[in-house]
Chain A
Amino acid sequence: MNVSILVPSALRGFTAGAASVGVQAPTAGEALDALVAKHPGLAPHLRTPDGALRSFVNVYRNDLDLRGLDGLATRLADGDTLILVPAIAGGRA
């Protein structure tokens, strides 16, 4: 499946500035693996050492959180968008 992964500014330092990365993968987990294979610096920001999704970076398939679907095993369809949404805290300073 051809999917695009949207990378927010907070993580673009690890993708050489790319805001969107296209990958081919049947599941969300494999799509993230393909993303990390292209941009290894992202690895520790997306997964824990034992492979689970980080709890402070949410991943959405279109508008739904993977945690409410089948997690990393969530199946993807052609044209789906995966969106990385990390916790950000700015506002007062």
Chain B
Amino acid sequence: MTPLTHDEIARYSRHLILDEVGVEGQTRLKNSSVLCVGTGGLGSPLLLYLAAAGVGRIGIVDFDVVDASNLQRQVIHGTSTVGRRKVLSARDRIHDLNPHVRVDLYEEPFTADNAERIARPYDVVVDGTDNFPTRYLVNDVCVLLGKPNVYGSIFKFEGQASVFNHQGGPNYRDLYPEPPPPGLVPSCAEGGVLGVLPGIIGTIQATETLKVLLGVGTTLSGRLLLFDALQMSFRELKLRKDPTAPKIEKLIDYDQFCGVPKRTGSKEEHPGSVGSFARLSPSEVAARRAAGWHPYVLDVRGEAEAAIVRFDWADRLIPHTRVADHLAELPRDREILVHCKLGGRSAQACKVLADAGFTVTNLEGGIVGWAKDVDPSLPTY
């Protein structure tokens, strides 16, 4: 192992005087490597603390650019890096914090085709992704390559953390054998997230990563930690290997596994079948309205979102989870145009309404799509 330089000894002195780390442990961190999939809410604190702690080699996977709406929680980026590629923004901040860290950049989506190549050189993989297909992929590649997977996930005010596939312990599929159907669980872009929440879960992931690398303490392997910021409560559940779980033998098509539809360009999912509904883009809706189309307009976002921006031609606001409770109040003799922020929750509401016999159209892309394509004077969020 490469020993510590005098500069590094000065830098890491608070670690070196801990019996649990010491020169031996710090040297181990310097010679260890971690792959972080995602440089967003979870990846931001995680990368900062792993770099500060002196992990010698850090790989980061992301293909996004920094957006102003990221800065409420993605503290590795800054106002000066808005518009910049996230991997470059993150690398520069890491090098400013600790120039001794080698940073490898993977500016590509993490897929079944490249996952093994990307993950193979690293001792530990940390899951800071934001969707189910990538979470199952991270899990499976870690199982196939025999690497610990430090897990964290967040939604609104709640987070989960664990360490999977460590020393024979359970993995993500033992916790959740199958993903939810697409659209059932809103993303943070639609559901919202308290900005500090990924800070807490991401630093828990950083803590667990350092413990795994150092071989000290008791990790979250075999335990699922639940955090609720509103109640300020931590709860711990026991996780076991599922003896009935099928063996993971190769990587699969994760979009298909998670039911993510392939884009087809078709306007109607199942034309003519019960429960089908039309889908129109913002510019198509604008053209029809200009030609005299006057549907009943249902906004299925939350009240907090409607307070940010709303169509003054909307008729009613009902959150998508409550639409089924208000069917009697909606018109059966008019077409209903349903919208949300991005089009996901409104598609679920359209399904509910179409199943109940209403004539419905989904505004694809939601009010954000409208602001982009039709009326740039509206704020986006």
Contacting pair B187 A93 (CB below 8 A): yes
Interface size class of B (residues with CB under 8 A): 35 or more
Within 8 A of A (CB), among B1-45: 38-43
Number of interface residues of A (CB under 8 A): 29
Contacting pair A10 B156 (CB below 8 A): yes
Contacting pair B237 A92 (CB below 8 A): no
> How many inter-chain contacts with C-beta < 8 Å in the A-B complex?
122
Contacting pair B240 A68 (CB below 8 A): yes
A13 and B40 in contact, given A55-B178, A85-B226, A88-B154 (Cβ under 8 angstroms): no
Interfacial chain B residues near A83, Cβ < 8 Å: 226, 235, 237
- Cβ 8 A contact of A63, one of B153, B187, B236: B236
- Chain B 210-254 near chain A by CB (<8 Å), digits 1 or 0: 000000000000001010101100011111101000000000000
Contacting pair B157 A9 (CB below 8 A): yes
Query: Which of B99-107, B277-285, B318-326, B367-375 is the interface stretch?
Result: B318-326
- Chain A 16-41 near chain B by CB (<8 Å), digits 1 or 0: 00010000000000000000000001
- Cβ 8 A contact of A89, one of B39, B185, B231, B240: B185
- Cβ 8 A contact of B38, one of A64, A88, A91: A91
Query: Which of B49-57, B130-138, B267-275 is the interface stretch?
Result: B130-138
- Cβ 8 A contact of A86, one of B62, B154, B180, B239: B180
Other A-B contacts than A14-B321, A83-B237, A85-B226, 15 sampled, CB-CB below 8 A, are A9-B230, A54-B180, A55-B178, A56-B180, A63-B235, A64-B238, A83-B226, A83-B235, A88-B155, A89-B130, A90-B41, A91-B130, A93-B130, A93-B187, A93-B189
List residues of B whose CB falls within 8 A of some A CB. Answer: 38-43, 62, 64, 127-132, 135, 152-158, 160, 175-180, 184-189, 191, 193, 198, 201, 224, 226, 228, 230-231, 235-240, 242, 319-322, 324-325
List residues of A whose CB falls within 8 A of some B CB. Answer: 8-10, 13-14, 19, 41, 45, 54-58, 60, 63-65, 67-68, 83, 85-93
